Structure 1
Amino acid sequence: MEAIDVCVEIENDEFYSKFLVVKPLVGENISVTEQVTKLTQGIDKLTKNLETQVLAKHNDLLTQASNISDLETMLASVRSQVQVLLQRAEKIKERVHTPFYELESQTVMLERVQVTCNLLRHAAKILTLWSKLNSVKDNPSKEAMILFELNELIGDYDFEGIVLLEDVLKQVDHQRKELLRNSTELLQSSLLVGDKTKLLQCFKVFHNLQCTEEQIKSTVNCILKDTRKEISIALNVQMVSIEIKKTSSGRSAPGKANIMNAQDFKIKLWGNIDKLFKVDIYNSCMKVIMLQNVVNELHAIGNFKNIARSFWHELSIIFSNELEKSSSTVNQSVEIDFPKLLKCFNDLLSRLKCKNLEMNRSCLNKWENSFLSKSLGKLLEPVRSMWHLNQVPTMDQIDNAIRVIAEALSISLGDKHLSISLANSVAKSIKQMNVEAEQRVSMENDVAQIIEAPTSSQQKNADLCNSLHYFSSQIKRVLANMNSMLPQESVQIVQNSLKDISSLPVLNLFAESIKNSLYLILATMHDEPDLTRADDPNNKNVSCSPYMKELQHFVSRCKEIYLSLFTEKTALNQCCIDISKSCIERFVQHVCNVRPLSKYGRAKLQADCKHLEISLSPLVNDVTELGDHYRQLKALSLLLEKTPQEVAKSQHEGASLPYSLVMMFLFSHAGPQLLAPHTCAGWNIQKLIQWLDSHKNERDRLEFVAGSLQRYQNHIRQNQITTYDEVYPVLLQLLEDGRKVMKK
């Protein structure tokens, strides 16, 4: 049986397989004798299989056995050679180690000799410098330099046990400490009296002793500590109360005790804070600035450019922390009168005149934010209170709000950041005013009527606009008075918030109604019989048309009854100019499309052009303010007295009227075969005006006119008419010129 088959048989046997897995056989159903027998049979099978394997592989086994014998012989030879090599290496080791140990011993001796020489050399230098030190007792700077050098020499080696130097070393240490103590005391006293010469002397000593940075830190920390104490005392509410009692012990008014005490407390607290900044903090800062200036002059001692700035930063934090720890009464006083605190800081900085010092506002954010919050509430309160129900605010109420705004802007003078913040709060109150007014503007159906007397809604809207205008004008007056004192950023913020306040939205409601009525009046131009009258105008005094008289009466009535309700001149003037421009534009459109039109009719329209200026005079004092619209009106007046050829020439030379309108006008000179553009389109005059209002582009209008010319040309060809209307070539030339102008 093959070895593999025996192994497989044993692995698959239920009994033998249990011996391949480590687990107890207790509890099996087979008895112990049977188990032993079974094991014996298995061992016999394995033995027989091993014998079979050995018999089958005996030649290979013999070969491997002989090879093992050869290998053992070779290993014995290598072992003998290794022993010889180790013996030789041991001899080489002995040859190397002996001189190495000798060299090491000599090196140790040399090192000890060298250390001894260095000790002797350092000792000699120490003794020399010590003797030299006694000769410079009156020169602290040189004394410090020698002491520093001695200290460096002493620190290089341990001189313990050298009796010769024991006393010298003690004296050197004593003199160094004594010199440092004297220089430190001199520094403190020099800072108090502002003696710059002695300060320079002190820092030369510190520099030579290599302790400048430590001394600067120690001095600044000492000044900060003293300043912290002064700040704490100034903000201590108990100390303030004790001082008040001492100064007011003779008063005893029961009914007014609390009020007077609170007022006295406030006065005393701010007196303490004012003294704190003007005297204590100022003196501390001047000490540090003097320290900074002296250090800057001594370039050789190192780079210490941020002493004053670091001190100011730490001082701001200390003040903030002490104020934070103070009582709620003190904090409330600071919140209410925060600009006073800022003024103390700003005045201090201006007195110090140090470019590197800037206010650390982040330390004061808590009190500044609280102050701004309360200020915003004060600014919004009069605005909200004046809008009671649906009533229009009175002048007194508006004046009260203006007074609060003026106070808010004035208390921020001297601090740009606070001024900008308060300007933003003022802008919010202005916006609130505008929002409140807008919510109360009436939008009923009768707010734009211009037939009867002004309704209550119209009067209310006008009153609201006038109140807003008064509010805006008063704020502008306040800004004008403070313009030189307020930062321009603050002025700009408030001015920008006033841009939304205008009477123009309400005025535009009237303007639209007025313009629509004017359009209806102008449309009656086409019903005037005088425009087709055959009389010669040269021998007659031509007056304006009836519709123009009606227009003049209507404009005058609207200005006196409706537009005069508003007091804001800027918005009123803008509204009137808009109405006047729209009136002239519509008048020009109608005049250019009147057909038929006789020579007398042209004279009549020319008179109407002149009278239109008079009709619009209630709206605009100077008609030239209308700009291009006024020039178009003048150009139309001249156009009415010219022949088509003269019209074309003047247009080529540069006229104010667009080509499309001039061409529409020239159709009135043509015969009945050359139909007007709107007639070709099957439109009435109202449809034409609507189309012109929705098509402002000159190119679209030229193409509209070109369509009627093309239709006329087709009509001539179809009917084989031999001659064109005399106006037709002029119109073609103007069309070509107009298209060229559009391409430029």
Structure 2
Amino acid sequence: NPTQVGTALQVFYNLGSLKETVSSIVEGYRASLEDNINNALDIKILTQPSQATTRGGPGRATMPTPGNTAAFRAALWTNMEKLMDQICAACGQVQHLQKVLAKKRDPVSHVCFIDEIAKDGQADILYAFWNTVTQILSSEFQKATNSSTFLKQAFEGEYPKLLRLYNDLWKRLQQYSQNLQGSFCSSGNADLLSELHQGEEDMQDIFMQKKQDYDPEKALKDSLQAYEAAYLSKSLSRLFDPINLVFPPGGRNPPSNDELDSIIKTIARAISICDIRDSLSCSVNKTVVLKNTVKMYHLKTSEVLSMQGEASQVIGPLTEGQRRNVAVVNSLYRLHQSVLKVVSGLTSFPSAAEHSIAVALETAHSLMESAIQPLLNSVGDSIEAIIITMHQEDFSGSLSNTGKPDVPCSLYMKELQGFIARIMNDYFRHFDCMDFIYDNTEAIAQRAIELFIRNASLLRPLGEGGKMRLAADFAQMELAVAPLCRRVSDLGKPYRLLRSFRPLLFQTSEHIVNSQAVGDVIAYSTILHFLFSRAPPELKSPHQRAEWSFARYSQWLDDHPSEKDRLIFIRGALEAYVQSVRAREGKEFAPIYPIMLQLLQKAMSTIQ
């Protein structure tokens, strides 16, 4: 009761012994706690049952026998729980005493009692007492565990239990602070009715007012650092063991599903042991353990990946190396999903810890990409090689009597459709993580459409029958890339490009130049390439003027993604045409030339 404590302090103040009395009380609490700590960790007291049943040489009483180790552990943790109660009670008393001293004033002189204590530099009683208690805890715990292997093993092996006791102690002290404020506010003593300082609502705030760089909770747990490190080391060892077991030296196979399940269960078990709402436990038993375990698994799986030529072949069935890579990707995916499930099931997981785990899991994603990259590269190269064969077909023909092309689509398009369907069935269907696969194959689909448009725009000569067949190829192109993606319409700009370019095949050059899609969806350089197909042979396309093959020009375009570079190269082809006309003393330019020149000038004005 604050009023009763205030009355007692007034008596000692009147007797002139306030300082001495307060110092004596606080010192009594300190001495009592020191005795309690020593008794709680006294190996002789903890092994008393063995003394009653065992006789022998010196030292036997301080060493638990194998049969009563469980009793020793039970006694130890019972003592630790009592010790936390004693620390909480003593700190509560000192905290209560400091609050009363801070609010109580002498009715005659109006001197605040805490100012009277402060004359000897003792105003911060709680800070001094807490600092002393935490130092005693650190020194006595270290001394006890250094002298007893059994105590050391108990605290290291059951560190989560020790940490839980410390967390509970700190929460109880915080709760006591809040309850104490309530008792002050309800006190009937006029001297104690003034509002408490806002910063004194709990122990943490009291300490922070006095010492900006002092963390009382950290000071409490500093005595656990050695046990934390030992527990972490053992946790990692327990988690690394099953990983090392399934990846023997020289082994070339990823773990089976059963072996991976064992690893995942071990991780989940380690995390669930210490699911405590505390940043320290997250660091020890969640963030560090998970991150390092995931890293270890990634390291081991990277060693069994096949990155040789057999990993990239797309001609025959899966090779042994490709099967191994599929198994690696599937195991990484399962581990990734399982760890995310474990993390999401935890009652408390700070954002910083989640970020740390996310960074570790990103390594799995990168490793999965590395495993499939040789195959993706080979598929992309094969698709480009097929598309470029469209130039080996004849698109110069006129319309047949029926007004329809002779074949519904070109041979290269049939080959492309068959190839994509086969590689999805023969290679990619073996992966469990189809969302991950689509994230990568959709990029191939986008690239395929861009290459198709590029080469289609370079076709020349292009007759009316060729236009009809090419229009059919446009429609078939959507079907060709469909297996590579979730929905073709999700491919973004390449899909809009495919849809926008097809109608231009049958429009006049003037309509094409004025189309809203030109310069927005369809690049100016692509349209200019297409208009070359409507020019006479002497107006050579840029690659013809340079005497390049289609493949070389396509590579040049890849190496020069800048629209300005491409337009300058096209301008060179137009200028060469003008020079050739003048050289032969021609009377006029081809009708398409002024239209192309106008479009080129418009395009150049938009990029300068």
Distance 1:565 1:441 in 2: 16
How far residue 621 of structure 1 moved from its aligned partner, in angstroms, is 2.6
Distance 2:401 2:33 in 1: 100
Q: 1:652 to 1:736 in 2, by over 3 A?
A: farther
2:264 counterpart of 1:397: no
How far residue 535 of structure 1 moved from its aligned partner, in angstroms, is 1.7
Amino acid at match of 2:357: V
- 2:424/2:484 contact within 8 Å kept: yes
Amino acid at match of 1:416: S
How far residue 244 of structure 1 moved from its aligned partner, in angstroms, is 6.6
- 2:29/2:90 contact within 8 Å kept: yes
- 1:593/1:665 contact within 8 Å kept: yes
Choose which of 214, 226, 245 in structure 2 pairs with 1:385: 245
Gaps of 5+ in 2: 56-63, 106-111, 116-121, 178-201, 205-215
Distance 2:493 2:267 in 1: 43
Q: Bigger radius of gyration, 1 or 2?
A: 1
Choose which of 626, 629, 639 in structure 1 pairs with 2:491: 626
2:39 counterpart of 1:218: no
Amino acid at match of 1:685: F
Paired residue for 1:200? 6
2:533 counterpart of 1:533: no
Map 1:495-574 onto structure 2 (within 5 A). 495-502=358-365, 503-529=368-394, 531-535=395-399, 539-540=403-404, 543-574=408-439
Amino acid at match of 2:463: S
Amino acid at match of 2:114: G
- 1:644/1:727 contact within 8 Å kept: yes
Distance 1:385 1:337 in 2: 25
How far residue 393 of structure 1 moved from its aligned partner, in angstroms, is 1.1
How far residue 305 of structure 1 moved from its aligned partner, in angstroms, is 5.9
2:80 counterpart of 1:273: yes
Q: 1:421 to 1:636 in 2, by over 3 A?
A: same
Distance 1:734 1:708 in 2: 14
Amino acid at match of 1:498: L
For the residue of structure 2 that corresponds to 1:650, the secondary structure is coil
Distance 1:519 1:639 in 2: 23
2:462 counterpart of 1:597: yes
2:38 counterpart of 1:232: yes
How far residue 708 of structure 1 moved from its aligned partner, in angstroms, is 0.6
How far residue 705 of structure 1 moved from its aligned partner, in angstroms, is 0.2
Choose which of 557, 572, 592 in structure 2 pairs with 1:707: 572
Q: 1:273 to 1:266 in 2, by over 3 A?
A: same
Map 1:27-176 onto structure 2 (within 5 A). none
Distance 2:516 2:400 in 1: 27
For the residue of structure 2 that corresponds to 1:618, the secondary structure is helix
Q: Which runs of 4+ in 1 moved over 6 A?
A: 244-249
What per-residue deviation string (whole Å, max 9, x for no partner) do you get for residues 676-733 of structure 1? Answer: 1111111121221121121111111000000011111112222222222111111111
How far residue 217 of structure 1 moved from its aligned partner, in angstroms, is 2.6
What TM-score results when the alignment is normalised by the length of structure 2? 0.84
Q: 1:268 to 1:548 in 2, by over 3 A?
A: same
- 2:424/2:483 contact within 8 Å kept: yes
Distance 1:537 1:643 in 2: 23
Question: Which moves more between the two structures, 330-339 or 562-571?
Answer: 562-571
Paired residue for 1:173? none
Map 1:578-657 onto structure 2 (within 5 A). 578-651=443-516, 654-657=519-522
Paired residue for 1:159? none
For the residue of structure 1 that corresponds to 2:349, the secondary structure is coil
Q: 1:214 to 1:639 in 2, by over 3 A?
A: farther
Amino acid at match of 2:416: L
What per-residue deviation string (whole Å, max 9, x for no partner) do you get for residues 283-322 of structure 1? Answer: 2122112212211222611356632233222112112222
Q: 1:400 to 1:650 in 2, by over 3 A?
A: same
Distance 2:331 2:65 in 1: 42
Distance 1:305 1:390 in 2: 69
What TM-score results when the alignment is normalised by the length of structure 1? 0.69
Map 1:312-391 onto structure 2 (within 5 A). 312-326=130-144, 327-353=148-174, 354=177, 355-357=202-204, 358-359=216-217, 360=219, 361-388=221-248, 389-391=251-253
Identity of matched residues, %:
29
Amino acid at match of 1:662: I
Distance 1:404 1:703 in 2: 62
For the residue of structure 2 that corresponds to 1:617, the secondary structure is helix
2:569 counterpart of 1:687: no
Q: 1:350 to 1:597 in 2, by over 3 A?
A: same
Q: 1:622 to 1:225 in 2, by over 3 A?
A: same
How far residue 212 of structure 1 moved from its aligned partner, in angstroms, is 3.6
Distance 2:297 2:401 in 1: 60
How far residue 214 of structure 1 moved from its aligned partner, in angstroms, is 3.5
Aligned length: 539
Q: 1:217 to 1:538 in 2, by over 3 A?
A: farther
Amino acid at match of 1:415: D
How far residue 245 of structure 1 moved from its aligned partner, in angstroms, is 6.7
Q: 1:680 to 1:324 in 2, by over 3 A?
A: same
How far residue 219 of structure 1 moved from its aligned partner, in angstroms, is 1.4
What per-residue deviation string (whole Å, max 9, x for no partner) do you get for residues 195-219 of structure 1? Answer: 4333212222344455444433321
Distance 2:338 2:326 in 1: 18
Gaps of 5+ in 1: 1-194, 250-256
Distance 2:18 2:571 in 1: 95
2:136 counterpart of 1:307: no
What per-residue deviation string (whole Å, max 9, x for no partner) do you get for residues 646-703 of structure 1? Answer: 1100157753111111101100011122111111111121221121121111111000
Distance 2:291 2:350 in 1: 15
Amino acid at match of 2:267: I
- 1:343/1:414 contact within 8 Å kept: no
Amino acid at match of 2:408: S
How far residue 583 of structure 1 moved from its aligned partner, in angstroms, is 0.8
Q: 1:215 to 1:734 in 2, by over 3 A?
A: farther
Paired residue for 2:354? 491
For the residue of structure 2 that corresponds to 1:540, the secondary structure is coil
Choose which of 452, 464, 467 in structure 1 pairs with 2:316: 452
For the residue of structure 1 that corresponds to 2:364, the secondary structure is coil
How far residue 522 of structure 1 moved from its aligned partner, in angstroms, is 0.8
Amino acid at match of 2:95: I
Q: 1:651 to 1:729 in 2, by over 3 A?
A: farther
How far residue 569 of structure 1 moved from its aligned partner, in angstroms, is 2.5
Distance 2:536 2:289 in 1: 71
Q: 1:501 to 1:646 in 2, by over 3 A?
A: same
Distance 1:343 1:673 in 2: 86
- 1:606/1:637 contact within 8 Å kept: yes
Distance 1:719 1:620 in 2: 53
- 1:323/1:331 contact within 8 Å kept: no
Distance 2:99 2:262 in 1: 52
2:71 counterpart of 1:264: yes
For the residue of structure 2 that corresponds to 1:413, the secondary structure is coil
Amino acid at match of 1:695: H
Q: 1:301 to 1:533 in 2, by over 3 A?
A: same
- 2:518/2:524 contact within 8 Å kept: no
What per-residue deviation string (whole Å, max 9, x for no partner) do you get for residues 577-628 of structure 1? Answer: 1211111111111001011111221221111111111111111131122111
Q: 1:397 to 1:244 in 2, by over 3 A?
A: farther
Distance 2:53 2:294 in 1: 45
How far residue 742 of structure 1 moved from its aligned partner, in angstroms, is 1.1
Q: Which has the higher contact order (CA 8 A, sep 6+)?
A: 2
Amino acid at match of 2:598: Q
